[in-house]
Every structure is written in C-alpha cells, then in structure tokens.
Amino acid sequence: MITDYAYYTDVFIGKEADEASFPSLCARAEDIVNTLTRWRVTEETFATYPALTQMLYKKAVCAQVDYFAVNGVSSLTATDGKGFTVGKVTVHDSTGSAGTARAASMVCPLAVQYLEQSGLMGPQVPTAGELPAWGVWLC
C-alpha cells in the first residue's frame, strides 16, 4: 500500500479508522482511488509523480478510508438489506421498498475532489504548452 497509518493519523489527521482496521480499509480505499485514476499510480511509479500529486493521491485514499470507516465497506455491494436505485433502475428488497442507493454512493466526494486537482482523473486536455500532472501524453 502506498498510504500508511502514520500518514493517515499525522498528516491527514484521520480519526475514523483505528490501527487494526486501517490496512483492510486502506486496501479497499486504494482500489476505489485506483479505479478512478485508471490505475495510473502504482507502488513502482508513485515516486515519479510531483509532490503535489503524491499528496493529493494520499489524501484521496485517506478520505476514502474515513468514508468506509463511517459508512462501512458494505457500501461497495449495497448489502444493507435495503433496495437501491441506480439511474432509472430500482432494485427492491424483499419487502418491496427501494431504500437508498448505497451502491451509487461508494465513492467519497472528498476523495473525488482531491483527485480532480491531482491531474490523475480522466482524459483531461492540458492547457497549451502544459503536460498533464502524470508527465506524459496519453494516446
């Protein structure tokens, strides 16, 4: 894992996850963040990114850890016993009620905000004469 418990508690000042649950939550959080960044960041390439990009990546992971610590990792599968809605599709639980869309809310909004500023998300078009934060043009 790229993000460790010391960074989570000392720099991010996270308080939702304890040291025992952190490795599991962080592994799932890094999976979510890596999915959003299309797996551009690996343990081997992390050091090649600018310091700001590294910081924003780690903060996104920490925000996602807090989100999972508060909401539970079950938000990944919508196994809260309720139905859910994604777009125009509604899945009802056994009682026939739709409930909330937990599956649609598995990504922490704060993590997305950090990643949007990192240059790691999506196929952004850089401004004239500027390379993206990851340093190469994607084709």
Q: Which residues pair with 90 in a beta bridge?
A: 85
Whether the CA torsion 32, 109, 65, 54 is positive or negative: it is: positive
For the chain, which residues make up each domain, given as ranges? 5-76+104-118
Residue 33 and residue 67 in contact, taking contact as beta carbons nearer than 8 Å: no
pLDDT at res. 106: 85
Determine if the pTM surpasses 0.75.
no
Local confidence pLDDT in tens for the 139 residues of the chain: 899 999 999 999 999 999 999 999 999 999 999 999 989 899 999 999 999 999 999 999 999 999 999 888 765 554 455 666 666 667 666 555 444 444 447 899 999 999 999 989 866 555 555 555 555 555 4
